[in-house]
C-alpha cells in the first residue's frame, strides 16, 4: 500500500502513512500560466490511498487530477472533510444537490471512500462505491483528557450534535447536556433559555464543524452568564470563516481546537490513527 495526498492534506497523509508504516509518495504541485492546476506524482501502481480534504475548488480539482494520475490496482479515497455535504437536498427549485454531484465525480475511479464525521451520512450513497464515515470520539476524548480540565461538562450546541457529545461523555465518563438552538439567519442564531449544571465548572462545547462561529459564540455567552468557570470549544472540522476565531474569543471562549482534517493553526489533535485503523480493516 502507498499513500499520497493533495497539497493541503500533506500533513495528515504523512501521519496516516506513518501509522500504517507504508510509503508516502511525494507529489509536485504547480499551475500553468493560465491558472490551471498541474501535478506530477511518483509511482502509484500498488494499492493506493489518496488523501484529500475538500476545502475549496482548488482542492477538488487537485483531487480529481490525483485520482486520475493513480494507475494502481485499487484506489481508496480518504476524504477527511467532505465539502458540499451540507447541500444534501434541493431546498429551492433550480438548485443542485451538491453532495450528489461531488459524490458522483469523486467516486467514479475509486473502489472505496472513507470520510470523517460527515455532516449527513446519507450523502455517502452518492459515491456509488462502499463508503463509510468515522467518528473521532476517542481522539476528541483523548484531547480533552490531556488538556486537564477538571470535571468538564460536555455540551452539544444543538440537538443534532447531541449524539456526538454523548459518545464523548461516555468515553470520558463525564456529564453531558445539549443546548436548544434556533437559526434566525445563515449567521445569526438564538439559544433558548435553559439552565445547565455549569456553575463554577469548565464547559466544553463539541461539534462537528465550526464555520462562522455564531452558534458557539451565542452558547458561550449563555454559559458564562450561568456562572461557568471557563468555556472551551472542540470541533472535528475547523473552517473558521469570516473572522470566526476572533468572534469566539470575544465571546469568552478561552480555547478553540480542531482536528487535522483541515490543516491550520487551530489543529490540535489528529484523526490519522482512526483512519489508519479503518484502512487496515478494508
Active site residues: 181
Which of the 8 DSSP states describes residue 165? H
Which of the 8 DSSP states describes residue 193? P
Helix (H) or strand (E) holding 68: helix 57-69
C-alpha cell at 84: 458540499
Give the C-alpha separation, 245 to 217, whole Å: 10
Give the C-alpha separation, 280 to 20, whole Å: 8
Burial category of 1 from C-beta neighbours within 10 Å (exposed 0-12, middle 13-18, buried 19 and up)? middle
Taking the CB of residue 61, how many other CB atoms lie within 10 A of it? 14
Task: Count Cβ neighbours within 10 Å for each residue of 193-226 and write b for 16 or more, e otherwise.
Answer: eeebebeebbbbbbbbbbbbbbbbbbbbbbbbeb
Q: Which residues contact 198 (CB under 8 A, 6 or more apart)?
A: 153, 223, 226, 227, 228
Q: Mind spelling out the 3-state secondary structure of 210-236?
A: ECCCHHHHHHHHHHHHCCECEEEEEEE
Task: Count Cβ neighbours within 10 Å for each residue of 14-27 and write b for 16 or more, e otherwise.
Answer: ebbbebbebebbeb
Amino acid at each position: 500500500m502507498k499513500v499520497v495526498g493533495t497539497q493541503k492534506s500533506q500533513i495528515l497523509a504523512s501521519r496516516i502513512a506513518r501509522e500504517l508504516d507504508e510509503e508516502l509518495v511525494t507529489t509536485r504541485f504547480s499551475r500553468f500560466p493560465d491558472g490551471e492546476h498541474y501535478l506530477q506524482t511518483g509511482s502509484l501502481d500498488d494499492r493506493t490511498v489518496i488523501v484529500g480534504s475538500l476545502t475549496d475548488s482548488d482542492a477538488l480539482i487537485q483531487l480529481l487530477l490525483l485520482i486520475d494520475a493513480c494507475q494502481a490496482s485499487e484506489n481508496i479515497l480518504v476524504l477527511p472533510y467532505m465539502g458540499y455535504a451540507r447541500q444534501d437536498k434541493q431546498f429551492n427549485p433550480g438548485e443542485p444537490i451538491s453532495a450528489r454531484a461531488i459524490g458522483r465525480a469523486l467516486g467514479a475511479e475509486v473502489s472505496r471512500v472513507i470520510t470523517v464525521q460527515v455532516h449527513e451520512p446519507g450523502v455517502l450513497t452518492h459515491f456509488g462505491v462502499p463508503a463509510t464515515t468515522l467518528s473521532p470520539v476517542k481522539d476528541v476524548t483523548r484531547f480533552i483528557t490531556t488538556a486537564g480540565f477538571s470535571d468538564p461538562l460536555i455540551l452539544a450546541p444543538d440537538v443534532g450534535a447531541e449524539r456526538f457529545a454523548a459518545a464523548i461523555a461516555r468515553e470520558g465518563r463525564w456529564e453531558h447536556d445539549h443546548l436548544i438552538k434556533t437559526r434566525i439567519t445563515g449567521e445569526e442564531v438564538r439559544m433558548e433559555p435553559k439552565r445547565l449544571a455549569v456553575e463554577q465548572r469548565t464547559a466544553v462545547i463539541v461539534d462537528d464543524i465550526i464555520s462562522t462561529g455564531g452558534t458557539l459564540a451565542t452558547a458561550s455567552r449563555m454559559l458564562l452568564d450561568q456562572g461557568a468557570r471557563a468555556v472551551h470549544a472542540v470541533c472535528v472540522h475547523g473552517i473558521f470563516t469570516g473572522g470566526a476565531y476572533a468572534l469566539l474569543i470575544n465571546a469568552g471562549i478561552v480555547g478553540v481546537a480542531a482536528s487535522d482534517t483541515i490543516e491550520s493553526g487551530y489543529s490540535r489533535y489528529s484523526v490519522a490513527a482512526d483512519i489508519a485503523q479503518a484502512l487496515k480493516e478494508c
